[in-house]
Amino acid sequence: MNGHFASIGDEPGVQSYEHGVQVIDDQKEFNTQLVDYIRKVNVAESGFNYHLISVFGSQSTGKSTLLNNLFGTAFSVMSETERRQTTKGIWLSKNKKDTNTAENILVMDVEGTDGRERGEDQDFERKSALFALATSEVLIVNIWETQVGLYNGANMGLLKTVFEVNLQLFLKDKQSNIRSLLFFVIRDHLGVTPLAALRNTLVQDLSKIWTSISKPPGLENSRIEDYFDFGFAALPHKILQPDKFTTEVQKLGTRFTAGHRTQGDASQEFEGGLFLPEYHRRIPADGFSVYAEGVWDQIVNNKDLDLPTQQELLAQFRCDEISREVLVAFDEGILPLEEHQAEAARNGQPAVLPDLGLTGSKARSKCLQAFEVQASRYHKGVYSRKRVDLESKIDGRLKTLYFAHLTAAHKTGITNFSNAVTAAVKTGQKSGATYEFAEIVAEEKEACLKYFKKEAKSLGIEGVAWTNFKPQYLLFEKELDDVSGKLRKEEMRRLATRVERWVKSRLGEAIGLEFNKLGSGRAGSGAPEEGDKPTEKDLWDRIWTVFTEVVAEAQGRFTDRAKSFEANQEEVDIGLWRLRRKSWVALREKIEEEVMEGNILLKLRENFEDKFRYDEAGVPRIWSPADDIEGIYTKARESTLTLIPLLSRFRLADTYAPPDLPSWIGLQPKGVEASDEEDLAPIGGVDEEDGKSLEEEMTVLSESKRQDLVVRFKKTADGVYVEAKRSAIGGVAQVPLYFYALLVALGWNEIIA
C-alpha cells in the first residue's frame, strides 16, 4: 500500500481512502487525486475553515502511531517485530475524531528522517520540509525524551533545514510575514525531568541553531521568535503506561482548536487552542490541491519557491475554474433566450423576449454571488481582476440580448405606429368624414412610447448602468418623429393629389368655357346670354385670371388642411410650390387639348360662321343674289384668321408679353428633396437646366401648325362661302315660268285697278 498512490481508479470512493491519500510518493511524484480526496471527505467546500498539520521525526519514532491516536487516522505503522521504514513520501488524512477538536483538520505524515532506505540522500528531507512549511500551520516534531539535548536524535539537523527554508520563504513574502508553530511532542516521558526543563533545553538548542545559520542581508539580527512560536507536550510510554498514554493523548487532542494569542511575550507557550489565525496560509480548501501541486513543482525542480506567486497562480487557476462553473448555471437561464433571439434574427423578424430583465437580473446576481462566495477567498488582486472579467463576459452577453431586445421593441413599435396611423387614415377616408391627421399621429405616438417604455423597463438589470434606456428612448422618439414626418409627407402628397384633381376639374370647365367664347362678340354660340360680350383679344387675360383665381383657392384649401396635419412652414411651402407647378402643367395640358387640330379648327369655323351667317344684330342671314356675300365672307374670314396668331402664344393684352410665370411659381423652397421633384415636369423659363425659354413655354401653336391651320381653315371657310352662294343663286332659279303667268292672271284685276 505504501509503495503506490492510494485509491488508484477512475472513481475512488471514501473506502478507497481508508489510509488517507499519498500526496507525494517515494519517487517525488505528486498525486493529482488529492483534489478528489478533499472533495470526498467534504473539506473542499469549507473555504478557510480547515487546518493543516505536518509531523516530523526520525524514522520509527512512532509518528504515525501518534497521529493515529490523536486524530483517528489509519496511517501505516511499523510492525513490532520489524524495524523498517513504513511511511514513504508524504501522506495526508482527515481527522476522524471530531469531538473537542476543530473542524476539518488535515494531517500530513512526512517520511521519517535518518532512514536507512535513503541513506545519505538528504534531498527529499529538505524538499519535504520546505513543502510542509509552505503548506502547514503547525509542525509537530515527534521526539523521545532521551533524544532531548542530542543534535541528531532530537532532529536538530532537520530543524536547521526548516529554519533555513523559512528564511527563504520570508525573503519572497515579506509582506505576509509567514509564521508557524513548532509543536514538540516528547514521547516516553518518565516525569523525572520536568517538562519545563526539557522545554528550556530545546529552546536553547533551537536558538543556537538559529544563530549558526547564514542569514540574508537585513536579517542578521533577527530572532527565531520573529518567525516561530513554540509549543510543548509530553506523553507517557505507550507500552509501559497504556492507560495514562491514552488519557494524555485525549487531553492533547483537545488543544487542536482555534486559539488566540494572550497578551505578553509572543514567545511564551500558550495553553489554549493551537490554531492561531496568523498560522493559516489563507489557501481556500477547494484550491489547496492545485496550490500544493504548484508548490511541489517549484520545490522538486529546485526553483526558488515564491509563495506569493504560487498564491497568485492558484488564484488565477481557481478563479478561472470557478468562473467556468458559475457560467454553466448562467447559461441555463440565458442560452434559451440567446437561441430564441438568434432564430428570430435568421428569420428576419425582431423578437421581443418576455421577462428578459427579470431572468437576466437573477442569472447575473446568482452567477456573481456564487463566484464571490468561492473566489473571494483567493488573492484579492486576482479575484478583483477575475470578477471584472466575469462581469464583462456576463454583461457582454446580457448587453447583446438587451440591445437586441430594444432593437426588436424599437422596430416593432415603429411598425405598429406606421400601421396604426395608416389604418386610421384609411378608416377616415372610407367613412367620408373629416379626420384629423395630427390627432391620429399624436395618439398613436403616445401609445407607442408607452409600449417602448414598458418593454425597456422590463429589461432593467440591477447593478448595470447600461440598462438606463434613456438614450434609446430618445432615439425611438426621434424615429417616431421621422416616421411621423414621412407619414405626414405621404398624407400631404395625397392631399396635394386631391387638390390637383380639383384644380384640373375647375380648369377643365373654366378654360373650356373661355375657348367656347371665341367669336362671342357677334353673339355666337359661345356668347353669354346676358351681360357684356367679351372680346376675343383678351382671351389669354381671362384664362390667366381664371387660372390664378382657381390656384389661389386651391392653395388656401391646401394650406388650411396642411396646418391641421401640424405641418411646418417648410413642408407647406414645398407643397404650395409643387401645387403651382402642377397646376401650370395642368393648364398647359388643357390648352393643348383645346387647340388640338380637330378642336381648334371647329372653334375657328364656329367663329367664322358666327360672323358670316349672322348680322350685327345677331339675326341669321338669308342669302339673296343682291347680298354682298363675297364682301361679308372676306371680312368674316379675315377676322377669324386674326385669331390664329392670337392663339399661337400665351400673351396678355395690355403688355403683349407672357405672364411672369417664374415669379408666380416662385423659387424652389429650401428642403426640397429629390423625391419632391421626380414627378415634376420641366417648365421653360423656370427650370434653367431644361434649356427651354419662357417664350417657348408660352408658345401654343408652332409656326408650321399655324400655317397648316390657316390652310385648313381657309378650305373650311371656302366651303361655307360656296354653300352660301349656291343658296342665294338657287333660290331664284327654282321659280317656274308658269308661276309668273299665273301670278299675272290672278292679279290682273289689281293691276287694272
Q: Among 440, 590, 565, which Cα is nearest to 490's?
A: 565
Give strand pairing partners of 139: 54, 182
Q: How far is the C-alpha of 230 from the C-alpha of 200, rounded, in Å?
A: 11
DSSP 340-364: HHHHHHHTT---PPTTHHHHHHHHH
Give how far Cα 241 sits from Cα of 33, 121, 654, Å.
39, 36, 148
Parallel/antiparallel/unpaired status of strands 51-57 and 105-110: parallel
Gap between the terminal Cα atoms of the chain: 183
Residues 6+ apart with CB under 8 A from 272: 255, 257, 259, 260, 262
Q: Among 306, 316, 317, which Cα is nearest to 130's?
A: 306
3-class secondary structure, 577: helix
Total count of residues recorded for the chain: 753
Give how far Cα 40 sits from Cα of 53, 75, 461, Å.
19, 18, 38
C-alpha angle 623-626-631 in degrees, rounded to nearest 5: 75
Give the residue carrying C-alpha cell 413655354.
Answer: 697
Q: How far is the C-alpha of 655 from the C-alpha of 665, rounded, in Å?
A: 20
pLDDT value at residue 174 = 60
Joined together, the cell numbers standing for residue 637 give: 374670314
Give how far Cα 558 sits from Cα of 422, 580, 631, 680, Å.
20, 11, 55, 18
C-alpha angle 394-397-402 in degrees, rounded to nearest 5: 115
DSSP 467-509: G--HHHHHHHHHHHHHHHHHHHHHHHHHHHHHHHHHHHHHHHH
Q: How far is the C-alpha of 563 from the C-alpha of 573, rounded, in Å?
A: 11
3-class secondary structure, 29: coil
pLDDT value at residue 384 = 93
pLDDT value at residue 147 = 84
Domains, the chain, with CATH or none: 19-305 (3.40.50.300), 315-468 (no CATH), 486-733 (no CATH)
Give strand pairing partners of 185: 142, 233
Q: How far is the C-alpha of 499 from the C-alpha of 554, rounded, in Å?
A: 6
The model's pTM? 0.60
Residue 532 phi/psi, 5-degree rounding, is -70, 145
Q: How far is the C-alpha of 473 from the C-alpha of 413, rounded, in Å?
A: 11
Q: Mean pLDDT for each 10-residue chunk of the chain (753 residues)?
A: 44 68 90 93 91 85 88 76 62 87 92 57 79 90 86 70 73 67 91 90 89 82 86 91 92 89 56 84 89 89 73 86 91 84 76 76 90 87 92 88 83 89 83 75 90 82 76 88 86 87 92 78 47 70 93 91 82 90 92 84 84 82 83 86 86 88 90 85 80 84 86 86 81 59 75 69
Q: In this structure, are residues 583 and 505 in contact, taking their beta carbons and an 8 Å threshold? A: no
pLDDT value at residue 91 = 93
Joined together, the cell numbers standing for residue 123 give: 534531498
**Exposed / middle / buried, residue 248 (Cβ in 10 Å: 0-12, 13-18, 19+):** middle
pLDDT value at residue 81 = 44
Q: What is the largest CA-CA distance in the chain?
A: 209
